[in-house]
Chain A
Amino acid sequence: MRRLILAPLLALLAACGASDDRTELVVQRFFGSCQADYGAVNDPTKADGECGIMTALINRFEADNPDIRVVENVVFWPGYDQLTAQLAANGPPDLVTMHSSAISDYEARDLLEPLNPVLAQAGVSPESFTPAARAGVMVGDQVMGLPIDVWAPLWHINMNLFRKAGLVRDGRPILPSSPEEFDAHARQFHERTGKPYLVQVTDKDFAGPMRIFYMYVMQQGGAPFRDARHSNFNSPEGQRALGFMRDLYQQGHSVRNQDYAGAVSTFLKGEGGVLIDGTWMVGQFTAASQREDSALADGYAVRPFPAIFKERNVSLVDGHNWVMPRDERRTQAQREAAARFLRFFADNNFQWARTGHFPAYTSIIESAAWRALPHRSDIAVLTQIGEPLPRFVRRQSPIEFIVGEEASAAFTGQKSVDRALQDMQRRADEILQSF
């Protein structure tokens, strides 16, 4: 009897002790967790959305590389607190997703490993990256990351409401090209649909207001930053940009009291005409437009941010990348595994581009297959007009939060435009001068 009990216990113990001699590759990423829907999917063509496609890609890599055990850490967006803590504790993952705008902070503290040798081993040439993707990862001659995509804020349009508002010509949305036209369109939209023209984030999640403010400043030919230590928000361009955002809000052209999730939900319910959001929503809204019960049924279009201020036709862009934090304990086998992982992602960049993000490789962006994806020809111009913030601007992430917070306080009427711009500039400069 005792043997009967002991035998399975010993077997269990032996199983626990069995060594896994596969090379362990720890990858840390945002884009969410969706194991319930995509945990068993390893065909990326059968997945949708950022989370689904990323999960399926990693599953596929594991299936194709049985000698590598991928440990996947999914972090709450954007995950930099966790990464910083891991770096401080000398326990970083092997590969991490990182925005192009965040690379300069980590690179300046020598926390990232240049990927030149790893990419050479993987057979991926930086020359194959699009200019915007390359600009996001290059520091001098060093390649600090493998670009996953380039993204930009876009105008997602409810064409059903635009038709009702008389803002469609030849099947294409009529978009404003000046502040006055914006006001006229928004009034016409509200009169004919009873709904606000603009769906935007006003509360809590400040990335949205920040991007709109930066865009309006850049469209006027202004530069949000003077140099590495000084911002330039309290400028005539900043005044005009924030004043315009406040006027739109005060005149009732925008939804109110919306955080990010609320704004997306409001747009999906058909409660507004234009949602200002990123490329990552193109796939999801396209899918919604193919459902009969959706407010976007057969009625979704997407366009680059229109040039309201005509001095420059420019769009703010950023990008997602895989970077390799420095870790002296990383073995050669892990480096090789990382090289294969990066090669796999470079080879499958088209699948990732189905999310709505711009591909990071010229060959894909010029391919007929990418152009044939829904709406891509409407936004392809962004590859020419897209412009990131200058590389010298560090601490972009916390500064973006401050800019969004102050802009939001100003356009919702809680603070004057002058005061918000002064506070925005003072707070940003304090950060820029703190290192």
Chain B
Amino acid sequence: MAMGDATLRSRLSQSAPWRRWSGLLFVAPYLLLFAAMLILPLIIGLRLSTTRSDLFGVKAEVGLENYARLFSDPVFLKAVGNTFYFVALTVPALTIIGLALALVLNNASRWSAVLRAVFFASTVLSVTVVTLIWRLVLIPDGGLAAVIARLFGQAPIAFLSDPVLAMPAIALTTIWWGIGLPMVLFLAALQQVPRDLYEAAALDNASRPRILFSITLPAIRRTIALVVIIEIILQFQLFGQAQLMTGGGPNNSTRPVVLFIYEAGWKQWQLGYAAAAAQVLFAMIAIAAMAQYYVSSRKEPA
């Protein structure tokens, strides 16, 4: 019987059509889900973006009018600028701080385990809790930052009311909230670096910076690229922190594209306009992620 099964498997594996379709069958469940949950909504979104519609139906076909409106809408253009600014503030910081923490905590001591848990803990909080905590830190009336400023005889700074400081304050909140993920990814990557490379470097009496730049960073370059791409995609989608901490203000200085989309689609019932903005955001994320992928893969040695 066992021999019969083996023969059957052998025949099946040698049959060309079966070989062609068996792989597809394995991925079919995911492909179906991917098509239903991502491709189809993308197509529907594209279609909606050429209409004047609300959540209850399409009122008129308007072609590319929504896109033309978007690119002459100062609020949207500012939201695009704000989003890029936020990504520039957070992605390098999350990558560098995440890497630094991982390097420091990449050992087997008890304190490292405790600190890894501490730094990761903020990641499990919901955006509501995180923004509540940081509003309590940043508000000028009795907030922690205000108390510290008064200790040093300084007037409290109204971070969230200042158009210059509000976005860095949201970025700081986001970095505190999101530092756990890059740290854990880097830790996992660091634990994959072969020990013998470090032993060889130690025998050669290599300095710590030399080890970092010649062994560690090249060995985890794929993870660095992964972290940067993941963070670009995540941070382009800034929404909750801005909505809850500043509502997009002051003077439109912290309104990101996703908040613009939400306001246009849900508050103003301009679903077609919101869908057009969503397509622009999709293009922005795709271009940024692909550019990063292109740059990081080009650096790979042949």
Chain A interfacial positions (CB closer than 8 Å to B)? 80-81, 84-85, 87-88, 105, 109, 111, 202-206, 256-258, 262, 265-266, 395, 397-398, 401, 405, 408-409, 412, 414-415, 423, 427, 430-431, 434-435
17 more A-B contacts (CB under 8 A) besides A257-B158, A408-B249? A84-B266, A105-B269, A109-B56, A203-B249, A204-B247, A204-B249, A206-B247, A206-B249, A257-B161, A262-B139, A397-B267, A398-B268, A405-B251, A409-B252, A414-B163, A414-B251, A435-B59
Kindly list chain A residues whose C-beta atoms are within 8 Å of the C-beta of B247. 204-206, 405
Smallest CB separation, B162 vs chain A (Å): 9
Cβ of B274 to closest chain A Cβ, rounded Å = 11
In the assembled complex, how far is the CB of residue B174 from the closest CB belonging to chain A, in whole angstroms? 18
Residues in A whose Cβ lies below 8 Å from that of B52: 434-435
Residues of A within 8 A of B141 (CB): 257-258, 262, 265-266
**In the complex, the 5 A-B pairs of residues with the closest C-beta atoms, listed nearest first:** A257-B158, A409-B251, A414-B251, A88-B55, A257-B161
Interface contact B269-A395, CB-CB below 8 Å: yes
A selection of 5 A-B contacts at a CB cut-off of 8 Å is A257-B141, A266-B141, A408-B250, A412-B161, A431-B270
**Which listed residue, A105, A202, A258, A405, touches B248 by the CB 8 Å rule?**
A405
Establish whether residues B268 and A111, one from each chain, have CB atoms under 8 Å apart when the complex forms: no
A257 to B141, CA, bound (A): 9
A398 pairs with B251, CB closer than 8 A: no
User: Chain B's nearest CB lies how many Å from the CB of A19?
Assistant: 34
Secondary structure of the B contact surface, majority rule: loop
Does B75 have its Cβ within 8 Å of any Cβ on chain A? yes
Q: Determine if B249 and A405 form an interchain contact, defined as CB atoms under 8 angstroms apart.
A: yes
The listed residue (B252, B268, B269, B273) touching A405 by CB distance below 8 A is: B252
In the complex, chain B residues whose CB is within 8 Å of the CB of A434: 52, 268-270, 273
- Select B268's contact among A205, A265, A395, beta carbons within 8 Å: A395
Tell me if A81 and B268 are in contact (CB < 8 A): no
Cβ-defined contact, A409 with B267, below 8 A: no
Q: 1/0 per residue B214-236: CB within 8 Å of A?
A: 00000000000000000000000
Q: Which residue of B lies closest to A434 (CB)?
A: B270
Measured in the bound complex, the distance between the Cα atoms of B160 and A65 in whole Å is: 49
When the two chains form their complex, are residues A87 and B55 in contact, meaning their CB atoms are under 8 A apart?
A: yes
CB-contact partner of A412 in B73, B75, B250, under 8 A: B250
Chain B interface residue bracket vs A: 20 to 34
A263 to chain B, nearest CB (A): 10
By a CB distance below 8 angstroms, the chain A residues around B267 are 80-81, 397-398, 401
Query: For residue B249, which residues in chain A have a CB less than 8 angstroms away from its CB?
Result: 203-204, 206, 405, 408-409
On whether the beta carbons of A204 and B251 are closer than 8 Å, the reply is: no
Question: Could you say which of A203, A205, A435 contacts B161, with CB atoms under 8 Å apart?
Answer: A203
Measured CA separation A206–B251 after assembly (Å)? 11
Quick check: A202 and B161 within 8 Å, CB to CB? yes
Encode contact with A along B276-290: 1 for CB under 8 Å, 0 otherwise.
Answer: 000000000000000
Contact residues, B142-160 vs A (CB, 8 A): 158, 160
Residues in A whose Cβ lies below 8 Å from that of B266:
81, 84
What distance in Å separates the Cβ of B272 from its nearest Cβ neighbour in chain A? 9
Contacts of B270 in A (CB 8 A): 431, 434
Whether a CB of chain A sits under 8 angstroms from the CB of B82 is no
A257 surroundings in chain B (CB, below 8 A): 139-141, 158, 160-161
Complex Cα distance A88/B245, Å? 29
List of B residues within 8 angstroms of A408 by Cβ: 249-250
CA distance A111 to B57 in the complex (A): 12
The answer to the question of B263 belonging to the interface, with a C-beta cut-off of 8 Å to chain A, is yes
Measured between C-beta atoms, what is the minimum distance from B17 to chain A in Å?
A: 44
Complex Cα–Cα for A87 and B268 (A) = 16
Question: Which of chain B's residues 245-261 have a Cβ closer than 8 Å to chain A?
Answer: 245-252
Chain A residue at smallest Cβ distance from B253? A414
Chain B window 26-60, contacts with chain A (Cβ cutoff 8 Å), 1 for yes, 0 for no: 00000000000000000000000000101110010
Which residues of the partner chain B approach A398 to less than 8 Å between Cβ atoms?
A: 263, 267-268
Assembly CA distance A265 to B135 (angstroms) = 15
Residues of B within 8 A of A430 (CB): 69, 73
A414 to B268, alpha carbons, bound, how many Å? Answer: 25
Cβ-closest chain A residue relative to B74: A423
- How far in angstroms is the closest Cβ of chain A from B269? 7
- Measured between beta carbons, the chain B residues less than 8 angstroms from A262 are 139, 141
Cβ contacts under 8 Å, B245 to chain A = 204
Q: How far is the CB of B253 from chain A (nearest CB, A)?
A: 8
- Bound-state Cα–Cα, A203 to B268, Å: 21
Residues from chain B with a CB closer than 8 A to the CB of A87 are 55-56
Are A415 and B263 CB-contacts (below 8 A) given A88-B55, A203-B161, A427-B75? no
Q: A257-B161, A262-B139 are in contact. Are A415 and B268 (CB under 8 A)?
A: no
A435 to B54: give the CA distance in the assembly, Å.
Answer: 8
- Cα distance, A80 to B69, chains bound together (Å): 26
CB neighbours of B139 from chain A (8 A): 257, 262
Please state if B246 and A204 are interface contacts (CB–CB under 8 Å).
yes
Chain A residues near B160 (CB-CB < 8 A): 203-204, 257
Q: Report Cα–Cα, A348/B73, bound state, in Å.
A: 49
B250 touches A431 (CB 8 A): no
Q: What is the CA–CA distance of A326 and B16 in the complex, to the nearest angstrom?
A: 58
List the B side residues contacting A88 at CB < 8 Å.
Answer: 55-56
* Residue ID in chain A nearest B244 by CB atoms: A204
How far is A109 from B271 in the complex, measured between Cα atoms in Å? 15
Known interface pairs A256-B158, A262-B139, A401-B267. Does A84 touch B55 (Cβ–Cβ under 8 Å)?
yes
Cβ of A414 and Cβ of B56 under 8 Å apart?
no
Docked CA distance A431–B161 (Å): 27
Q: B161: which A residues are within 8 A, CB to CB?
A: 202-203, 256-257, 412
Instruction: From known contacts A395-B269, A434-B273, infer whether A111 and B56 are also in contact, taking CB-CB under 8 Å.
Output: yes
Q: How far is the CB of A396 from chain B (nearest CB, A)?
A: 11
Q: Which residue of chain A is the closest to B141 with respect to CB atoms?
A: A262
The reply to whether A109 and B158 contact each other, CB–CB distance below 8 Å, is: no
Task: Give the docked Cα–Cα distance between A423 and B251 (Å).
Answer: 11
Question: How far is the CB of B267 from the nearest CB of chain A, in Å?
Answer: 4
Tell me the minimal C-beta distance from A220 to chain B in angstroms.
26
Please give me the residue from chain A that is nearest to B166 by CB atom.
A203
Contact status A414-B250, CB under 8 Å? yes
User: 0/1 per residue, B59-83, Cβ < 8 Å to A?
Assistant: 1000000000100011100000000
- In the assembled complex, which residues on chain B have CB atoms less than 8 Å from the CB atom of A205? 247
Are A203 and B59 in contact, with the CB atoms below 8 A? no
What CA separation (Å) do A435 and B248 show in the bound complex?
Answer: 24
Q: Give the shortest distance, in Å, between A432 (CB) and chain B (any CB).
A: 10
Whether B56 lies near A415 (C-beta < 8 A) is no
- B75 to chain A: which residues have CB within 8 Å? 427
